[in-house]
Structure 1
Amino acid sequence: MRAIVQEAYGSFDVLKLRDIDMPAVKDDEVLVRVRAASVHPDVWHVVTGRPYVLRVMGSGLRRPKVRVPGTDMAGVVEAVGAGVTRFRPGDEVFGETLHGMQWKNGGTFAEYVAVREDNLAPKPGDVSFEQAATVPTAGLITLMNFPPGPLGEVLVNGAAGGVGGLAVQIAKARGATVTGVEHTSKLDLATSLGADHVIDYTKEDFTRRGERYDLVFDIPGNRPFAECRRVLKPEGTYVLIGHDHYGAGGHQVLGSLPRMIKLMAQSMFHRQLPKPTGSPPPRKESMAVLTELLETGGLTPVVDRAFPLEEAPAALRYLTGGTARGRIVVVP
């Protein structure tokens, strides 16, 4: 099969189109013919090998353990393992190939990929392969970090980005009133995704406004918690997703990890910070929630551009440029 192969960390030029062996399928896995794969920041992290700490978090010290990048995809079931019961050849599916919280390549920048059955969900018929491929990682991050119960007044910082765009829509589906913070050029996109109010961060600092929110969902993390607290209600919650801005922010070795650890320590003293939890919800259950949202129109992914598989380096360059209005995919 054709696949993008990464033999080393570095610039996007380390990615080469190669003919490689088809993946072997275990008893609990499904072989999927990939129709679209998402290009998102976690792919950038593993291709570049930055921050360096990710190399000891599953990726590989000197070179990637898994040579084919990509984690999210949508496609058609080609074959199933002996223990698979939910899918059969011909089914249209979408999902994330990684299991658990890991930073590593997942093999989706290829014509075929083997995926654990529980990581997949049926793709709704009214949703394109390109749209479905952009949902898993961003959707799972959002579901894992949203607090339970009514959300009330929500501010999403980075409302038109990969995670933020889904966070706006999922919050609206849960009955929230959403304020989106974005660049001037993307305010209309944030509104089209469902934001009730928008703030242009080039003109106004959202931490200095008079409004108060039940939840501040901070994707870029470009304001410290001490400033974000000013716009939280007394019982409100601050959630940092964190974004190293493709190497421009965060520590080269540890990335945003020190900031995350500091917030976890502060959560012992600040009720507005969520306490560290154990394992995330079962992947199968979370994928079912995302599927229902796609089926009912609660989620409508916006795809900015689809690149041919062989142009994966160009797709990553486009991602890091920050001008995309919606998500980016590669198509084998």
Structure 2
Amino acid sequence: MRAIVQDRYGNPDVVLSLRDVDTPEPGPDEVLVRVHAASVHPDVWHVVTGFPRVLRLMGSGLKRPKQPIPGSDMAGVVEAVGAAVTRFRPGDAVFGETHRNMQWVNGGTFAEYVCAPEDVLARKPDGITFEQAAAVPTAGMIAVNNLRQRLWDQPGQRVLVNGAAGGVGSIAVQLAKARGAVVTGVDHTARQELMRTLGADAVVDYTEEDITRRSERYDLIVDVASTLSLSGCKRIFSPQGAYVIIGHDHYGTKGRRTFGSIPLMLGLMLRAPFDRHLPSPGFDGMDKQKDMQILRDLLEAGQLTPVIDRLFPLEEAPQALAYLQSGQACGRIVIDCLSGAR
């Protein structure tokens, strides 16, 4: 099969190449998927470049990636199933991630075929394209896990999403709207109309206005872009307002090439027991099967519609990652893994 392969960490245009490699074979609890589309998001960039360096100690690989094929989420059609698989059969259209645990490892989706455990996949809804479905899993599960505690049984909240037009932010906006929230989206000038399309009730251009100086008060601030501070947000919290930060590392531009956002996140976790605006840290981990079902239900109900900015052929994966890093995208970036297929 054709696949994008990296044998070391570095700039995508240097370390990534299109090669012919062996097609993987599914294990007992895995399915082999013919990949139609795979998404491009910051976690992929981190593992390709090897930044922050701490990720190499967290399962990615010290000197080079243990899994040489990048990509963590995809959508495609099941080609074969392992002996213990019960949920899927050949011909099923599916989407999801390819690993059960952390995102900071290569998952092999920038390829024509990939194997994935059956319990991290869901059936693709009929009304959603493969490209749209591929854009959902990683970003969607991050949004669900960070918002579940604050949104699920509390309709009518006033929610602010900073970075509302990005991968996680666009899903956070739609998830909040599906839960009955009144949503304010914050992003760049070029993304104002996209935020309205996503359903935001109000939009703010951060280049023109400091959101923390507004008179409005918010019950939940979701800092996807990770450009706000807790102290600044306290000026616009409601009495019980909560601050959730996703931890975007801005592709190493803010001096986070060794530990990334980990020191910041640990600091907030230590402060949480003493600050009512910080959610209590959770250590339960993701239930990816449950999260994927939530996302599938939202897609099927029309409450979640991924917006695709640009589709790149498989051989242009380095250019897709460069486009991601440029910050120009208004919507999701997706790799077409069928392009040029023999």
Moved more, 219-228 or 33-42: 219-228
Of residues 161, 164, 167 in structure 1, which corresponds to 2:166?
Answer: 161
Alpha-carbon distance in structure 2 between the residues aligned to 1:283 and 1:223 = 29
**AA in 2 matched with 1:2:** R
* AA of the residue aligned to 2:135: T
**Matched pairs, number:** 332
Give the equivalent residue in structure 2 for 1:45: 46
Partner of 2:219: 214
Q: What is the identity percentage for the equivalent residue pairs of Structure 1 and Structure 2?
A: 61
Counterpart for residue 4 of structure 1: 4
Q: Distance in 2 between matches of 1:33 and 1:48?
A: 26
Aligned-pair distance for 1:250?
4.7
CA distance in 1, matches of 2:287, 2:51: 28
- 1:183 corresponds in structure 2 to 188
Q: Corresponding residue for 1:173?
A: 178
2:48 partner SS? helix
CA distance in 2, matches of 1:61, 1:296: 43
In the superposition, the TM-score normalised over structure 1's length comes to 0.98
Aligned residues of 2:77 and 2:91 also touching (Cα < 8 A):
yes
Q: Does the Cα contact within 8 Å between 2:72 and 2:103 map onto a contact in 1? A: no
Identify the match of residue 282 of structure 2 among 273, 277, 283.
Answer: 277
8 Å CA contact retained: 2:40, 2:321? yes
Indicate yes or no: 2:139 matched with 1:138: yes
Q: Distance in 1 between matches of 2:83 and 2:333?
A: 34
Residue of structure 2 in register with 1:64 after alignment: 65
Letter in 2 for 1:180: G
* Rounded Cα–Cα distance in structure 2 between residues aligned with 1:291 and 1:251: 34
Q: TM-score, normalised by structure 2?
A: 0.96
In 1: Cα distance, 2:178 partner to 2:131 partner: 22
**Alpha-carbon shift at residue 160 of structure 1 (Å):** 0.4
1:318 counterpart (315, 323, 326): 323
Check if 1:198 corresponds to 2:199: no
**Contact in 2 for aligned 1:49/1:55 (Cα 8 Å):** yes
Q: Post-superposition shift, 1:279?
A: 2.0
Counterpart residue type for residue 163 of structure 2: G
Q: 1:233-252 alignment to 2 at 5 Å?
A: 233-252=238-257
Give the gaps of 5 or more residues in structure 2. 338-342
Matched residue, 2:105 = 104
3-state SS of paired residue (1:53): helix
Q: For 1:290-309, list aligned pairs within 5 A.
A: 290-309=295-314
**Partner-residue secondary structure (3-state), 2:69:** coil
Residue of structure 1 equivalent to 2:96: 95
**Post-superposition offset of 1:98:** 2.1
Contact 1:180/1:195 (CA < 8 Å) preserved in 2? yes
Distance 1:189 1:7 in 2: 37
SS at match of 2:27: coil
Amino acid across the alignment from 1:150: Q
- Which residue does 2:17 correspond to in 1? 16
Larger mean CA deviation between 237-246 and 67-76 belongs to 237-246
For residues 98 and 58 of structure 1, the distance between their equivalents in structure 2, rounded to whole angstroms, comes to 12
The question of 1:329 aligning with 2:337 is answered no
Q: 1:51, 1:252 within 8 Å by CA — same for their partners in 2?
A: yes
Is 1:126 the equivalent of 2:148?
no
Residue 246 of structure 1 and its aligned partner are, at CA, apart by: 1.1
Note the alpha carbon deviations across 1:57-77, whole angstroms, 9 max, x for none. 110010000000000100000
Is 1:150 paired with 2:154? yes
Shift of 1:234: 1.6
In 2, distance between residues paired with 1:173 and 1:299? 8
CA distance in 2, matches of 1:200, 1:98: 37
Q: What CA distance in whole angstroms lies between the structure 1 residues aligned with 2:252 and 2:99?
A: 23
Tell me how far apart the structure 2 counterparts of residues 281 and 313 of structure 1 sit (CA, whole Å).
Answer: 30
